[in-house]
Amino acid sequence: MDTLFGGPFELEDHTGKTRRDSDWDGQFKLIFFGYTNCPAICPTTLSDITDALDLLGESAKNIQPIFITVDPERDTQEVLADYVTAFHPSLVGLTGTEEKISQVAKSYRVQRHKILLSEEDHSNHGSGHGMDDDVNYDAAHSTLTYLMDRHGKFVTLFPYDTRGDVMAERLRGYLPGNS
C-alpha cells in the first residue's frame, strides 16, 4: 500500500526556497492540495489541520503540514507567503510550474481541473474572492489530506471536514511513543 499515493517532488516553497519531499524525511507529512482563491474547502481544511496540530502540542513537531497548490498560475510564491500565515506557523506552501504541479498531483491521484466562469459567474464572486479580471476560472480539486510517514510512505487519508480534534486523535496513534 506504500505506493498507492505519493512520490518524490521538487517544488518552490512560500519563501522562494526549492523544497523536495525528502527535506522532511524523519517527520510525518500531512499534505493537502488546494488553492488560495478557494472560498470554503481549503481554508476549512487548513484550519482543521491547524487545530489538530495545536491539540497535539509538542508532538506536532513530528509532523510537517504541507499545502500544495493546484493553481500555480495564480498561486505564486508571494501569494502563498501571504496565505499560509493565516494557519499553523509550521505550514509550508508549495508551488511550481504547471508541469511539476501536474506530476505531483498525479502521484497523489489528485483530480484537478479549471472551471471557466461566465461573465455573470465571475461578477458574482465579488471582491475579496481573489478573482482577477483577467483570470476567469475556478479550480476544482480533490479534497483529501494525506498522511505520509517518516520515510515518505503513505499511511492514511483524512476526508474533507475531518474535525481537528478527530484528526489529532488519529494522528496520535501514528506518532512515536503513542502506538
Residue numbering of the annotated binding site for Cu cation: 38, 42, 141
The DSSP bridge partners found for residue 3 are none
- The CA distance from 73 to 41, in Å, is 19
Binding residues: 38, 42, 141
Angle at 115 between CA 110 and CA 120, to 5 degrees: 155
What is the pairing mode between strands 63-69 and 28-34?
parallel
Angle at 136 between CA 15 and CA 71, to 5 degrees: 30
The residue whose grid cell reads 465571475 is 122
Q: Which triple of cell numbers denotes residue 157?
A: 487519508
Tell me how far the alpha carbon of residue 32 is from its chain's centroid: 3
Q: How many other C-beta atoms can be found within 10 angstroms of the C-beta atom of residue 123?
A: 10
* Contact of 82 with 69, CB cutoff 8 Å: no
Q: What is the largest CA-CA distance in the chain?
A: 55
